């Protein structure tokens, strides 16, 4: 439990820092000050196609993780799994909100088909509709094993996506988020593998 609290706190600190930077970039002031803030906050001139692709893809990727987390009902699964689902919700919904704000700032539309595109690439770990249906209908005895197996694959896909934009992106805000995704989800992968091994 202390480890879980530390993880969630670290996630919140990272997101708070990102939100403060975004707010600074949107505030008023003289021309030179505004230019400095835009440079520091990662304005529309600082992102490239890799940043846009990452954000457009990671939003539906996170949304599917939230769908899976919402399938977890405390009291019918282990405390460890319920705590993990809570941590995923606490971390990823604010990240979705942040990424949607970036797309708005950049004047880029949210791709409604991004989730389906990702689902066709196993390296991104997206579950198919059939996978999600199977998980939803799994027996109590099978649910935890299936959920952990799927979420490990899902997290591994997110790490791959984040590592790609760290290498190919240009926006410092996006890089900071991607680095947080790698750190947080790698830690959760380790915990999930340990939980799965104990099943």
pTM for this predicted structure: 0.77
CA 86 vs CA 23, 27, 73, 110: distances in Å? 27, 33, 10, 26
pLDDT averaged over the chain? 82
pLDDT tens digits, one per residue of 122-164: 458 999 999 999 999 999 889 999 999 999 999 999 999 999 9
Q: Kindly state the tokens that stand for 42.
A: 């990662």
**Topology at the third CATH level for domain 2-197:** Ferritin (1.20.1260)
Say what angle helices 2-26 and 79-106 make with each other, to 10 degrees: 10
pLDDT tens digits, one per residue of 80-124: 999 999 999 999 999 999 999 999 999 998 876 665 555 544 458
Which pLDDT band holds residue 28 (cuts at 50, 70, 90)? very low
Residue 162 · residue 182 · CB < 8 Å? yes
Range from 7-16, 51-60, 142-151, 161-170 carrying the lowest mean pLDDT: 7-16
Q: Kindly state the tokens that stand for 155.
A: 């997290």
The H-assigned helical ranges of the chain are 2-26, 31-41, 49-70, 79-106, 114-119, 129-136, 140-168, 172-197
Say what angle helices 79-106 and 172-197 make with each other, to 10 degrees: 160
Residue 126 · residue 115 · CB < 8 Å? yes
DSSP state of 106: H
* Domain ranges across the chain: 2-197
- Check whether 41 has a pLDDT greater than 50: no
- 3-state DSSP assignment of residue 128: coil
Per-residue confidence (pLDDT) for residue 121, from 0 to 100 = 46
Quick one: average pLDDT of 12-37? 45
- Check whether 191 has a pLDDT greater than 80: yes
| Higher pLDDT pick, 123 / 174 | 174
Range from 61-65, 87-91, 120-124, 177-181 carrying the lowest mean pLDDT: 120-124
- Check whether 9 has a pLDDT greater than 70: no
């Amino acid at each position: 439990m202390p480890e879980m609290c530390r993880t969630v706190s670290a996630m919140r600190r990272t997101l708070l820092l990102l939100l403060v930077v975004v707010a600074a970039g949107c505030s008023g002031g003289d021309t030179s000050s505004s230019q400095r803030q835009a440079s520091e906050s990662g304005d529309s001139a600082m992102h490239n196609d890799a940043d846009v692709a990452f954000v457009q893809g990671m939003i539906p990727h996170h949304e599917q993780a939230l769908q899976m987390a919402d399938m977890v009902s405390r009291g019918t699964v282990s405390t460890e799994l319920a705590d993990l689902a809570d941590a995923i919700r606490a971390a990823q919904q604010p990240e979705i909100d942040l990424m949607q704000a970036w797309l708005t700032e950049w004047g880029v539309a949210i791709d409604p088909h991004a989730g389906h595109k990702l689902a066709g690439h196993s390296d991104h770990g997206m579950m198919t509709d059939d996978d999600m249906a199977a998980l939803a209908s799994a027996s109590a005895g099978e649910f935890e094993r299936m959920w952990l197996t799927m979420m490990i694959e899902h997290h591994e896909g997110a790490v791959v996506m984040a590592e790609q934009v760290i290498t190919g992106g240009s926006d410092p805000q996006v890089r900071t988020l991607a680095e947080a995704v790698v750190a947080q989800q790698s830690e959760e992968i380790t915990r999930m593998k340990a939980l799965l091994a104990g099943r």
